[in-house]
Amino acid sequence: MPDTADREYIAAIDQGTTSSRCIVFDHDGRVVSVDQKEHEQIFPKPGWVEHDALEIWANVQEVVAGALEKAKITKDQVKAIGITNQRETTLLWDKNTGVPVHHAIVWQDTRTDALCRMLGRNVGQDRFRRQTGLPLSSYFAGPKIRWLLDNVEGLRERAERGELLFGTMDSWVIWNLTGGVNGGVHVTDVTNASRTMLMNLRTLAWDESILASMEVPAAVLPEIRSSSEIYGTAKGGVLDGVPVASALGDQQAALFGQTCYSVGEGKSTYGTGTFLLMNTGTEAINSYAGLVTTVGYRIGDQQPVFALEGSIAVTGALVQWMRDQMGLIKSAAEIETLALSVEDNGGAYFVPAFSGLFAPYWRADARGVIAGLTRYVTKAHLARAVLEATAWQTREIVDAMKKDSGMELTTLKVDGGMTSNNLLMQSISDFLDVPVVRPMVSETTCLGAAYAAGLAVGFWSDVEDLRRNWRRAAEWTPDMDPAERDKEYQFWLKAVQRTMGWLGEES
Amino acid sequence: MARTIQSLERAAAVLRLLAGGERRLGLSDIASSIGLAKGTTHGLLRTLQQEGFVEQDPHSGKYQLGAELLRLGNSYLDVHELRARALVWTDDLARSSGESAYLGVLHQQGVLIVHHVFRPDDSRQVLEVGAMQPLHSTALGKVLAAFDPVAHNEALETGFEAITERTVTEPADFEALLDDVRARGWASDVGETWEGVASVAAPILDRRKVPVGAVGITGAEERMLGPEGLHQRLVAAVRDCARSVSRDLGAGRF
Ligand SMILES: Nc1ncnc2c1ncn2[C@@H]1O[C@H](COP(=O)(O)OP(=O)(O)O)[C@@H](O)[C@H]1O
């Protein structure tokens, strides 16, 4: 550990889906210390997922203290705190007591499926797409607020009387950090607000007409601020007096941490699922190819930067499935060993549409398929097919981005747990026909929040300063015969067709 | 029949007993089943317990087979798992040393590079994962040969080809060099494989202290060497990294 006594740092809090973490970064963007704590996943009914927001706040305080202690630094050395968070998870709390009126409804929760269909009326899932960039889906926060107000006794009245506050986890953490009932600031940043389905992408303000359609009273909503500015200072706790200076949804934070500051730069985060975001500049680009339009980031009063986003539900989760459900491997990493024991996929294609197809198809009636089976196929071929599934799904998203934006991705920056898989990274490069690069700091989500906070307090001077911190740890370059690539892609697309319409009238 | 060791035979009998039929047994059951005094049996059990081959239930005081036995039959560490565990530490090594970092394991007669992190400057570099390096001249290879007897045999059988003028080619010199490596816990290669290039490596050990691989950095001699030889801060960074990965490997699977 280097001597940390008289140096300056930025602390980033990542309030994630399964855990909360705090990472302390130095001026070079290097990780100095990490502390992390998991919280309970509450499943009250099939399809419902909740979090206890009080537990989360307690954990956040604990990991912040833990990270400072491990770094052996004091709060005076921390120049700013940045926040990044699981997106869309929705909380309502009492303004006067600071107590949540219900567990937070997590982004994965599907209880608002029927409500979303109803909200679509005769228009369908694109009813609010022009204003918000999003399709009507149970993911987003707006319908979750509506559900709470409709289903929890007395909430609507209390909301209309102005007694309740709404927030995604960024708002909850910032409000508590800055004093809670004693003057906590009630804000959210544009990236988180862009996932509520209540913000207009053109004005970056709450959209009156959508609020009316969604029956959400404006009184509960936080003020929308940029992603990088001082919202307030921490009150009490180990960071007392430190400026709270950034907030970004986790995927946007990764985009920022990967320094995708130019139009056409994109990153893909390979974890349980995969999220690909591409910077499209200061214009919001409508998607007709099944992507969503979202705010990438906004630094202070500069122009907002927009992004196109494509998400894949099942990537690392398919590897877990091979391990836990099929028992074909003992650890996730072993998938590569198994896959490397053969030369190719042996004609097998695996489309993991476990809960339907996401971007760019959005087909809820699809279910998973393994296509092309012959007696020749072994478990090793299936392991290949599993890794190729992630690579082909990436290709489909990249193709959709090209269609929507007219921009060509020149390189793909990657992060997340699956980037340790060399064969997968090579396959992605081969299938996309572009170089794939991995940065030296794998903690890009926290790094993005730290960068945005550091910019706000002048710890870093501008984004060029941040770009200079970016280091290439590895690069995979395409090495595949184009004819072979096209042939394989056609087989993949054929396999995808086989998944559709599996669920029919009888279900 | 050749002379056998009685206490080992007895220990084997205890293990067989715990493996068959009823899974948990008390001290007196075990002692009477194998026909030994309780005191002797207790001594056997305590030793087996220390090695992890037997576990004692804290409530009932009864004995059962330990987790270590399972690992014995299943001890092979997947190289891709090793890479996944090493990823953050090797990134940090490359970053703090300013040189490229490599992770190598024994494969046939050489060192197989299973992970490579670029030198953190903006120069063009090519991923060397999958490449083979010689055992007798590289820092990674010497570490493996010094700490892993199988690698040692491979090195002796393959012989000591002179790759550069500095390559050690005499078996006796090589042995002396390995003794040194074992004593100080790291190996170096100054121009012995590539002219003008130096490297440093240290062993990665699993939870049983068995060497599973080596991690190291490689760079131009003018950056790696000072008037006193290899920069001590680089050696320290490599050893820190090796220790961190080793510690991680003791933490069980993920
Ligand atoms: N070497 C590997 N090869 C393939 N998949 C892997 C590998 N290592 C981890 N994974 C997968 O990556 C996921 C974990 O990555 P992580 O970034 O921690 O995900 P999350 O943040 O979504 O929890 C798991 O789904 C796991 O199956």
- pLDDT band at B251, cuts 50/70/90? very low
Closest chain B residue by Cα to residue A424: B80
Closest to A215 measured CA to CA, from A118, A136, A110, A145: A145
Q: Using the 3D structure, point to which of B65, B82, B102 is the last residue of a domain.
A: B65
The label of the residue with tokens 């290949």 reads A384
Distance from CA of A390 to the nearest CA of B (A): 18
Beta carbons of A473 and B94 less than 8 Å apart: yes
- Res B73: pLDDT: 59
Instruction: Please report how the helices B79-97 and B232-249 are oriented relative to each other, as an axis angle in degrees rounded to 10.
Output: 150
The DSSP letter of residue B164 is S
Instruction: Give pTM, 2 decimals.
Output: 0.84
Q: Which one of A333, A419, A474 has the shortest CB-CB distance to B80? A: A333
Compute φ and ψ for B181, nearest 5 degrees. Answer: -60, -45
Give me ligand 1 centre to Cα A495, in Å: 24
Rounded Cα gap, residues A89 and A145, in angstroms: 10
Q: Does A475 touch chain B (CB under 8 A)?
A: yes
CA distances from A489 to A192, A367, A430, B220 (A): 35, 20, 11, 43
The DSSP letter of residue A222 is P
Residue A31 with chain B: CB contacts under 8 Å: 92
- Res A213: pLDDT: 92
The tokens for B62 are 């009864």
- Res B101: pLDDT: 97
Compute CA A194 distance to the chain's CA centroid, rounded to the nearest angstrom: 12
Give me ligand 1 centre to Cα B111, in Å: 27
Beta carbons of B92 and A30 less than 8 Å apart: yes
Distance from CA of A387 to the nearest CA of B (A): 14
- Res B253: pLDDT: 37
Which contiguous run of DSSP H or E holds residue A451?
Answer: helix A444-456
Residue B116 with chain A: CB contacts under 8 Å: 474
Residue A498 annotated as lining a ligand binding site: no
Q: Which one of B78, B122, B254 has the shortest CB-CB distance to A337? A: B78
- State the residue range of the domain holding B222: 70-248
Residue A19 with chain B: CB contacts under 8 Å: none
Lowest model confidence (mean pLDDT) among A336-350, A473-487, B132-146, B158-172: B158-172
Beta carbons of B125 and A332 less than 8 Å apart: no
Beta carbons of A440 and B94 less than 8 Å apart: yes
Rounded Cα gap, residues B238 and A498, in angstroms: 51
CATH code at position B38: 1.10.10.10
Beta carbons of A30 and B95 less than 8 Å apart: yes
Give me ligand 1 centre to Cα A315, in Å: 8
- pLDDT band at B2, cuts 50/70/90? low
Strands A292-297 and A266-270: unpaired
CA atoms within 13 A on the CB side of A175: 29
Give me ligand 1 centre to Cα A332, in Å: 7
Give me ligand 1 centre to Cα A389, in Å: 15
Torsion of CA A348, A349, A355, A357, to 10 degrees: -160
- Res B75: pLDDT: 56
Residue B253 lies in a domain: no
Helix (H, G, I), strand (E, B) or coil at A270: strand
Which contiguous run of DSSP H or E holds residue A372?
Answer: none
Phi and psi based region of residue A469 (left: phi greater than 0; alpha: psi -120 to 50; beta: remaining)? alpha
- Mean of pLDDT values over A402-419: 91
Cβ-based neighbour number of residue A98 at 10 Å: 18
Same domain, B91 and B150: yes
CA distances from A111 to A287, A377, A458, B5 (A): 26, 40, 43, 68
Helix (H, G, I), strand (E, B) or coil at A402: helix
- Res A104: pLDDT: 96
Residue A320 annotated as lining a ligand binding site: yes
Q: Does A476 touch chain B (CB under 8 A)?
A: yes
- Res B71: pLDDT: 63
Residue B16 lies in a domain: yes
Distance from CA of A20 to the nearest CA of B (A): 19
Residues with beta carbon inside 6 Å of ligand 1?
A 271-272, 316-317, 319-320, 332-333, 335-336, 416-418, 420-421; B 80, 84
Residue B252 has pLDDT above 50, yes or no: no
- Res A78: pLDDT: 96
Give me ligand 1 centre to Cα A321, in Å: 12
- pLDDT per position as a tens digit, A332-359: 999 999 999 999 999 999 999 988 888 7
Distance from CA of B4 to the nearest CA of A (A): 38
Nearest CA to ligand 1 atom 11: A316
Residue B115 lies in a domain: yes
The label of the residue with tokens 């200072």 reads A233
Residue A330 with chain B: CB contacts under 8 Å: 78, 253
Q: How far does chain A reach from its first CA to its final CA, in angstroms?
A: 59
- pLDDT per position as a tens digit, A207-262: 999 999 999 999 999 999 999 999 999 998 899 999 999 999 999 999 999 999 99
As to burial, measured by CB atoms within 10 angstroms (0-12 exposed, 13-18 middle, 19+ buried), residue A403 is middle
- Mean of pLDDT values over A53-72: 94
Closest to A173 measured CA to CA, from A183, A162, A184: A184
Q: Using the 3D structure, point to which of B28, B45, B65 is the last residue of a domain.
A: B65
* Range with the largest mean pLDDT of A4-8, A138-142, A479-483: A479-483
Residue B24 has pLDDT above 90, yes or no: no
Decide if B10 contacts B37 (C-beta within 8 A).
no
Q: Using the 3D structure, point to which of B14, B34, B65 is the last residue of a domain.
A: B65
Closest to B38 measured CA to CA, from B46, B53, B28: B28
- Res A137: pLDDT: 85
Compute φ and ψ for B3, nearest 5 degrees. Answer: -65, 135
Closest chain B residue by Cα to residue A323: B254
Residue B228 has pLDDT above 70, yes or no: yes
- Res B21: pLDDT: 63
Residue B1 lies in a domain: no
Closest chain A residue by Cα to residue B77: A334
Residue A420 annotated as lining a ligand binding site: no
The DSSP letter of residue A369 is E
- Res A365: pLDDT: 86
Rounded Cα gap, residues A419 and A421, in angstroms: 5
Same domain, B189 and B237: yes
Residue to mutate (ligand 1; options A84, A314, A418; most atoms within 8 A of CB): A418
- pLDDT band at A506, cuts 50/70/90? low
Radius of gyration of chain A (CA): 22
Q: Which atom of ligand 1 is closest in space to residue A16's alpha carbon?
A: 21
Decide if A379 contacts A334 (C-beta within 8 A).
no
Average model confidence (pLDDT) for chain A? 92
Give me ligand 1 centre to Cα A419, in Å: 8
* More confident position, B8 or A452: A452
Compute φ and ψ for B83, nearest 5 degrees. Answer: -65, -45
Q: In b/e form, how buried is each residue of A109-148, taking b as 16+ CB within 10 angstroms?
A: bebbeebbeebeeeeeeebbbebbbbbbbbbbbbbbbbbb
* More confident position, B223 or B122: B223
Residue B87 lies in a domain: yes
Residue A333 with chain B: CB contacts under 8 Å: 78, 80-81, 83-84
Same domain, B19 and B110: no
Torsion of CA B163, B166, B170, B175, to 10 degrees: -110
Rounded Cα gap, residues B67 and A400, in angstroms: 50
Rounded Cα gap, residues A323 and A313, in angstroms: 18
> What residues contact residue A421 under an 8 Å CB cut-off, 6+ apart?
A333, A335, A336, A387, B80, B84
**Optimal mutation site among B78, B90, B100, interface A, most CBs of chain A within 10 A:** B78
Rounded Cα gap, residues A376 and B103, in angstroms: 35
CA distances from B74 to A49, A305, B53, B107, B212 (A): 37, 52, 14, 19, 14
Same domain, B206 and B243: yes
Dihedral sign, Cα of residue A116, residue A120, residue A126, residue A130: negative
Same domain, B31 and B135: no
Torsion of CA B50, B51, B53, B57, to 10 degrees: 20
Rounded Cα gap, residues A273 and A385, in angstroms: 17
Nearest CA to ligand 1 atom 25: A316
Rounded Cα gap, residues B90 and A473, in angstroms: 10
Nearest CA to ligand 1 atom 1: A333
Q: Which atom of ligand 1 is closest in space to residue A270's alpha carbon?
A: 17
Residue B239 lies in a domain: yes
Same domain, B134 and B234: yes
- Res A470: pLDDT: 87
Residue A332 with chain B: CB contacts under 8 Å: 84, 254
Residue B19 lies in a domain: yes
Q: Does B72 touch chain A (CB under 8 A)?
A: no
Q: Which one of A333, A419, A471 has the shortest CB-CB distance to B78? A: A333
**Optimal mutation site among B70, B74, B75, B80, interface A, most CBs of chain A within 10 A:** B80
Residue B193 has pLDDT above 90, yes or no: yes
CA angle A61, A65, A71 (to 5 degrees): 145
Residue A431 has pLDDT above 80, yes or no: yes
- Res B141: pLDDT: 96
Decide if A186 contacts A167 (C-beta within 8 A).
yes
Q: Does B139 touch chain A (CB under 8 A)?
A: no
Residue A1 has pLDDT above 50, yes or no: no
Q: What is the 3-state secondary structure (H, E, C) of B15-73?
A: HHHHHCCCCCECHHHHHHHHCCCHHHHHHHHHHHHHCCCEEECCCCCCEEECHHHHHHC
Rounded Cα gap, residues A12 and A254, in angstroms: 12
CATH code at position B209: 3.30.450.40
- pLDDT per position as a tens digit, A125-144: 889 999 999 988 888 999 99
Same domain, B144 and B166: yes
Average model confidence (pLDDT) for chain B? 88
Same domain, B138 and B243: yes
Give me ligand 1 centre to Cα A29, in Å: 23
Same domain, B61 and B149: no
Closest to A173 measured CA to CA, from A239, A270, A126: A239
Closest chain A residue by Cα to residue B91: A440
Residue A505 has pLDDT above 80, yes or no: no
- Mean of pLDDT values over B231-252: 87
Same domain, B45 and B149: no
Residue A316 annotated as lining a ligand binding site: yes
Residue B118 with chain A: CB contacts under 8 Å: 471-475
- Mean of pLDDT values over B6-29: 83
- Mean of pLDDT values over B203-218: 90
Alpha helix (H) residue ranges in A104-248: 113-119, 129-132, 141-151, 155-160, 169-177, 190-193, 208-214
Rounded Cα gap, residues A24 and A35, in angstroms: 9
Distance from CA of A330 to the nearest CA of B (A): 9
Same domain, B106 and B54: no
Decide if A245 contacts A230 (C-beta within 8 A).
yes
Rounded Cα gap, residues B187 and B203, in angstroms: 9
Q: How many domains does the structure of chain B reveal?
A: 2
- pLDDT per position as a tens digit, B108-131: 889 999 999 999 988 889 999 999
Decide if A80 contacts A453 (C-beta within 8 A).
yes
Residue B163 lies in a domain: yes
Residue A499 annotated as lining a ligand binding site: no
Lowest model confidence (mean pLDDT) among A392-401, A407-416, A450-459, A473-482: A407-416
CA distances from A153 to A147, A148, A150, A272, B187 (A): 11, 9, 8, 36, 70
Q: Which atom of ligand 1 is closest in space to residue A319's alpha carbon?
A: 27
Residue A491 has pLDDT above 70, yes or no: yes
- Mean of pLDDT values over A407-430: 94
- Mean of pLDDT values over A44-59: 92
Assembly ipTM = 0.80
Beta carbons of B118 and A331 less than 8 Å apart: no
Alpha helix (H) residue ranges in A370-443: 379-405, 422-432
Same domain, B108 and B86: yes
Rounded Cα gap, residues B17 and B26, in angstroms: 12
Rounded Cα gap, residues B163 and B173, in angstroms: 16
- Mean of pLDDT values over B84-112: 93
